[in-house]
A = this chain, B = another copy of it.
Amino acid sequence: MSEPVTVREVGPRDGLQLVGTVMPTQTKLNWITRQAAAGFKEIEVTSFVPPKLMPQFADAAEVTMSANAVPGLTASTLALNLKGGIRALQAGAQVVNFVLSASEAHNQSNVRCSTEASIRAFRGLLDWQWQNAPQTRVTVAIATSFGCSLQGDVPEAQVCAIAAQLAEAKAAEITLADTVGYANPHQVKRLFRAVAAEVGEVPLAAHFHDTRGMGLANVLAALDCGITKFDAALAGLGGCPFAPGATGNIATEDTVYMLENMGLRTGVDLDALLRLREDFAGWLPDEPLQGRLGTAGIARTFAPAA
């Protein structure tokens, strides 16, 4: 019996961030519904950022409410500050994933405050959630954990110290995110091991971008550290609008394919996922899609993990 791993689809959030055309709400919901039907248990469905800044997510509340009704799906949402987090919970979000940056420069660019102020906001959100929506989960992602295109190096000790504070505040999960595709497999092993030593029982997850081709190698390195939850975006879309040079996430279909080939059960129906990808290409005709499996197709020797 093979081990289970979780691939969390973040395409409807991270994948759409750099897409100029606003995707209609019904298309987003069609996407989310079909991807859930293909076996995805958790999808990051939207972002509670100010609609003026990101019109793509003006329908965040509606997407959240409708995604909650998809059978078997945990619909998670992103927030960057206390206000956004509360708005997400008030809209009925089951999971709010709060994002702050280990890089001060990126935190300023992305959230317009210091990392320390973001940590305070995260604590405030947990307090609010505890009093008003105790059945929900507040998770957190540490962006630019592996380096920053604005600031440069991000010391591992800094990431560890932040992770320790987030764990102490009772984050439900901590994701180490390689926002700009700087991470390499050695660094991934080093940082995940160091952070794991700081956070006790809090589960860790990994969020990699394939900007410099190391995305799936980094997944492999993280697996070696016992990480079993990975963010990915359909067709490798994605990228942070406030980090120069940021490009796509690891492609969901390639990630699932590698994991299944390695005998790790994702629960995903790859054929259904590739059919969705084909339709997806039609929904975003101006976006160059990434990922290799969509072009090459499944190998004739492939057997899903049993």
Q: Mark A residues whose CB is within 8 Å of B.
A: 147, 149, 152-153, 180-182, 184-187, 210-214, 216-217, 219-221, 245, 247, 251, 254, 257-258, 261-263, 291-293, 295-297, 299-301
Contact = CB atoms under 8 A, between A and B. Distances in A.
A182 B301 contact: yes
A31 to B, nearest CB: 21
Contacts of A257: 212-214
A12 to B, nearest CB: 22
A205 B205 CA distance: 33
B301 A152 contact: yes
> How many copies of this chain are found per oligomer?
2
Q: Helix, strand, loop or mixed for chain A's interface?
A: loop
Given A186-B263, A213-B292, A262-B185, A300 B152 contact: yes
A214 B258 CA distance: 7
Nearest to A223: B185
Given A261-B184, A261-B187, A301-B152, A214 B212 contact: no
Contact of A217 (B182, B217, B251): B217
A27 B233 CA distance: 40
A212 B292 contact: yes
Given A184-B261, A186-B261, A261-B184, A299 B147 contact: yes
A184 B255 CA distance: 11
A181 B258 CA distance: 12
The 4 closest A-B pairs by CB, nearest first: A184-B261, A213-B254, A213-B292, A186-B262
A214 B211 CA distance: 15
B153 A184 contact: no
13 contacts: A147-B301, A152-B301, A181-B292, A184-B261, A185-B262, A186-B261, A212-B292, A212-B296, A213-B257, A214-B216, A214-B254, A217-B219, A245-B297
Given A180-B299, A212-B257, 13 more contacts: A153-B301, A184-B262, A186-B261, A186-B263, A211-B296, A212-B292, A212-B293, A213-B251, A214-B216, A214-B254, A214-B258, A217-B258, A247-B296
